[in-house]
């Protein structure tokens, strides 16, 4: 019986829909999508910029997140467009989910860092629904 309780507690923790603790920054909040991120911190000793998490979720009963991609790039030419030679970090999720989270995001400090979260929401009668959130990856 004790093992059943431990397994149940672990499953409950994994399926939690709560956001991580700490300061949150909203990227979007609509009836069909909520997207938030953690605080970006500059560690001067290591010269790293880090963000503990970024994520998105859809309410139960709405379209699901079909895929998600988060990237950080150094915008060498200032055009705010990602080019492969500028890419510093890329994370992806290709599972069909209601909530996606990317954790422990770190890159070396540099000026002109850009970040993008791209979400592909489920298809409806109008086709695919892509949501893109761009922001400067700099200390909050």
In residues, how long is the chain? 140
Contacts of 137 (CB under 8 A, 6+ apart): 40, 49, 51, 72, 107, 113, 114, 115
- Indicate the class that CATH gives domain 20-136: mainly beta
pTM of the model: 0.81
Closest CA to 22 of 42, 36, 34: 36
> What would the pLDDT profile of 45-95 be if each residue is shown by its tens digit?
999 999 999 999 998 877 889 999 999 999 999 898 999 999 999 999 999
Q: How far apart are CA 91 and CA 100, in angstroms?
A: 11
pLDDT digits (tens, 9 = 90+) for 24-38: 899 999 888 999 999
């Amino acid at each position: 019986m004790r093992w059943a309780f431990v397994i149940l507690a672990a499953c409950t923790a994994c399926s939690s829909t709560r956001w991580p603790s700490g300061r949150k920054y909203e990227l979007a909040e609509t009836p069909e999508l909520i997207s938030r991120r953690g605080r970006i911190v500059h560690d001067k000793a290591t010269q790293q910029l880090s963000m503990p998490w970024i994520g998105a979720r859809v309410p139960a009963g709405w379209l699901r997140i079909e895929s998600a991609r988060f990237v950080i790039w150094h915008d060498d030419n200032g055009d705010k467009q990602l080019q492969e030679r500028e890419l510093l970090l890329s994370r992806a999720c290709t599972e069909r989910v209601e909530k996606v989270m990317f954790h422990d995001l770190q890159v070396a400090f540099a000026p002109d860092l850009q970040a993008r979260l791209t979400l592909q929401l489920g298809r409806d009668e109008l086709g695919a629904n892509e949501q893109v959130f761009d922001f400067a990856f700099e200390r909050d």
